[in-house]
Structure 1
């Protein structure tokens, strides 16, 4: 029963993000964007994300872990680009399943962290080392 509810929550949230939220949010110049390479198509895929830069790293928490398409793309090719404050940076993404994602969210921007906590079903920390 719990698995079915999580799957339904995942479908509802990702459908809303894909067709409503992401197309609007990605156009905002201040929005941080993650560019991955599609694991099947090989084409660039852009995802609005929330997190925080700390030195030469950028930290974020994926609300659906390995179910997230951008996480699956990172698993296939961890070379990514990140647009922070309008400027693109290259980086290498690392999935950190042993990191305590809930604790990590306390270090990230409050509004985004609140949404991730509210809708997330399988939290996963990601660190992107910027070059």
Structure 2
């Protein structure tokens, strides 16, 4: 493994360990946006704090570890998801968009979100995700 690949792998391991602990607390905050997927192995609901932006009937986000993110792997297995926005749950269908420019997409998302994704992620592994939202949302 090359030095840069080793650094990237080291960063991935450190960030995911940190996020696992942080997410356990953050997902309990009432105003936090959450993405709920179905675990590809367990079949249980998996809730991940995410940043992004709703535009019309779509919710856009960028995965900082792309295909390596657990929620991306879950979406690949079952694209039916829910997104919690401002305390309301919206069912939807997630689409992975490898041909979208994730850096350009980040410029259209909330500034704080873009800063966190760039700081935590590996710039070459970013992946855009679009969720088509359905329904009025429920509490």
TM range (shorter): over 0.9
Give the CA deviation at 1:80: 0.2
For structure 1, the residue ranges without an aligned partner over 5 or more in a row are none
User: Counterparts of 2:9 and 2:118 in 1: how far apart (Å)?
Assistant: 16
Give the CA deviation at 1:79: 0.2
Identify which of 3, 6, 9 aligns with 2:5: 3
Given the alignment of the two structures, is residue 128 of structure 1 paired with residue 134 of structure 2, yes or no? Answer: no
User: Counterparts of 2:13 and 2:104 in 1: how far apart (Å)?
Assistant: 26
Which residue of structure 2 aligns with residue 31 of structure 1?
32
User: Counterparts of 1:11 and 1:56 in 2: how far apart (Å)?
Assistant: 34
SS at structure 2 position matched to 1:98: coil
Which residue of structure 2 aligns with residue 75 of structure 1?
76
Count matched residues: 130
RMSD: 0.6
User: Counterparts of 1:82 and 1:119 in 2: how far apart (Å)?
Assistant: 22
User: Counterparts of 2:94 and 2:7 in 1: how far apart (Å)?
Assistant: 30
Max Rg structure: 2
What is the TM-score of this pair, normalised by structure 1? 0.97
User: Counterparts of 2:13 and 2:63 in 1: how far apart (Å)?
Assistant: 15
User: Counterparts of 1:30 and 1:107 in 2: how far apart (Å)?
Assistant: 21
Given the alignment of the two structures, is residue 49 of structure 1 paired with residue 56 of structure 2, yes or no? Answer: no
Give the CA deviation at 1:27: 1.4
Deviating above 2 A after TM superposition, structure 1's stretches of 4 or more consecutive aligned residues are: none
Which residue of structure 1 aligns with residue 99 of structure 2?
98
What is the TM-score of this pair, normalised by structure 2? 0.92
Give the CA deviation at 1:85: 0.4
